[in-house]
Copies of this chain bind each other. A is one copy, B any other.
Amino acid sequence: MKTVAILIFPDFLMLDMSGPAETFTVANRFLPADAGYRLVLISATQTDIRASNGIRVLADTTIAEPAESYDLLLVVGGPGAYSGRPP
């Protein structure tokens, strides 16, 4: 089992999260359970976070919490990445 973390922030582009998330989810259908991928959604701020399309998602944890170790970390893009302040 490998862990894939996706880091999101306010005004993130939802497709940048859902596209890769779907890829790993579909891959899991074809892999033995112990060789599959576990997704962890990390928020740069609070766990209830709004994408640039207005839809809110609930992250599993925030960067303020002690991190476990991840096999892969994906950082999404989106309008919030250009706000001029750290997300």
Count of interface residues, chain A, beta-carbon cutoff 8 Å: 21
- Copies of this polypeptide in the complex: 2
B residues less than 8 Å from A19 (CB atoms):
15
A22 engages B17 (CB within 8 Å) = no
Interface status of A83 (Cβ within 8 A of chain B) = no
B residues less than 8 Å from A57 (CB atoms):
55-58
SS of A interface (majority)? mixed
Interface centre among A15, A53, A56 (most CB of B within 10 A): A53
Q: How far is the CB of A61 from chain B (nearest CB, A)?
A: 13
Interface status of A52 (Cβ within 8 A of chain B) = yes
Interface status of A21 (Cβ within 8 A of chain B) = yes
